[in-house]
Structure 1
Amino acid sequence: MEALKIEILNPKALQLIKEMQDLNYIKVTDAPVSKLQSYLKKMRKNASTAPSLEEIANIVAEVRAERYGTK
């Protein structure tokens, strides 16, 4: 079995995919949520203001640059 990530650009393609699923040619599942995203969602639930994923990535990059030196 092979797993692929497909971005649907045309709504007609979605109908074709649904038909193939009905014929048991393919199985469609939702994409898994990363552990980081699920953790952030859990932590943000009670926070009034929370940093975005991009802001967190920038902070991590800054800390790594300080710790390991910029290259």
Structure 2
Amino acid sequence: MMTYQVEILNPKADRLLKDLADMDLIALKQTSTDPFLQVVERLRAKAADNPPSLDEITQEVEAVRSERYARNKA
């Protein structure tokens, strides 16, 4: 048995798949919505609107490194 994940773009395709399932040629199973994947998608959508610049990323990395260094020094 082969498994495919299909993203349906046209409602006619949905009807075709249901017809094939009615003829017992295929089996349809809806995927469950994973809360983790919902969070990932939301974060990706936010990042697409306003992606951080290389300078902002560098500043954040340096801040975390210096904080970690200070904790390990103490």
Q: TM range, normalised to the smaller chain?
A: 0.3 to 0.5
**Bigger proportion of residues as helix:** 2
Bigger radius of gyration among the two: 2
